Structure 1
């Protein structure tokens, strides 16, 4: 593909990385696959034309930094994958009226909440993927105290870990 770097940037962000969004929101992709895909994107970014390879002037990790920090703002696919799975887990815990929530609740945590669910025996790959991202979701969640009937003083995290709360 012959063109300016700006065109390549838009193509990578709007097409190549966006193609993966749906599958990454459902499945935990192996890290090796994410790195292989990033390697392909990196090669595409630096190539001169369809037949000519270019010099890689920077690592992909540097290109994933925000533009105001010297990067190009490309996505780190492993981190983006986890973020999308955390979002799915959050929907299961907050949006109890969706079809997907009803299906997963009836199969994996019908007697408890999403927060207390276990992996179970013979789970689907989707449930294993969301379950793998649950730790990150738990680390970023805190209570909004209202009526306070569901809060456990001993079990629940009152402060985020970065402030000094329990891990």
Structure 2
């Protein structure tokens, strides 16, 4: 699940199984739900059970992979991905969708904009900034 972007339908099906298990529902017999699923998914500090939807967890893992693509350029998997999809060698690579892409790259492409919204430049000595090419 950490390297595979799971389709929404699969996430929803697994979440449905979790809800049915927690509420004691069976295919033939459905019980009354006295509390909403949204309240169950709240953090424990806000009186919930701290459960998270599978879609949120999967997106979090994909965003972690995006962050590793930026901050850990010497990892083997990052080198392979950057080489395979011809990312720039800059500090922040350009991520573009391709006609044929792996499930990992698809997840990175779908979550890239969410990660980039929170990336900030820190002023230092300027050796890692390519002024004309970085955007």
1:130 equivalent among 96, 108, 111: 108
Report the counterpart of residue 85 of structure 1 in structure 2: 62
Question: How far 1:111 moved relative to its partner?
Answer: 4.0
Secondary structure in 2 aligned to 1:148? coil
Secondary structure in 1 aligned to 2:93? helix
1:105 equivalent among 61, 65, 82: 82
Secondary structure in 2 aligned to 1:26? coil
| C-alpha distance after superposition, 1:28-58 (max 9, x if no partner) | 2122221211111111111189x97543222
Report the counterpart of residue 139 of structure 1 in structure 2: 117
Inter-CA distance 48–138: structure 2 relative to 1 (3 Å threshold): closer
Pairs within 5 Å for 1:1-167: 23=1, 25-47=2-24, 54-113=31-90, 115-149=93-127, 150=129, 156=135
The 8 Å contact of residues 95 and 101 in structure 1, kept in 2 or not, is answered as yes
Unaligned runs of 5+ residues in structure 1 are: 1-22, 157-167
Report the counterpart of residue 162 of structure 1 in structure 2: none
Cα RMSD over matched residues? 2.5
The 8 Å contact of residues 88 and 94 in structure 2, kept in 1 or not, is answered as no
TM-score normalised by structure 1 residue count: 0.68
Inter-CA distance 121–70: structure 2 relative to 1 (3 Å threshold): same
Q: What is the aligned length?
A: 131
The 8 Å contact of residues 63 and 72 in structure 1, kept in 2 or not, is answered as yes
Instruction: Give the whole-Å Cα distance in 2 for the aligned partners of 1:151 and 1:68.
Output: 44
Instruction: Give the whole-Å Cα distance in 2 for the aligned partners of 1:132 and 1:48.
Output: 34
TM-score normalised by structure 2 residue count: 0.82
Higher helix share: 1
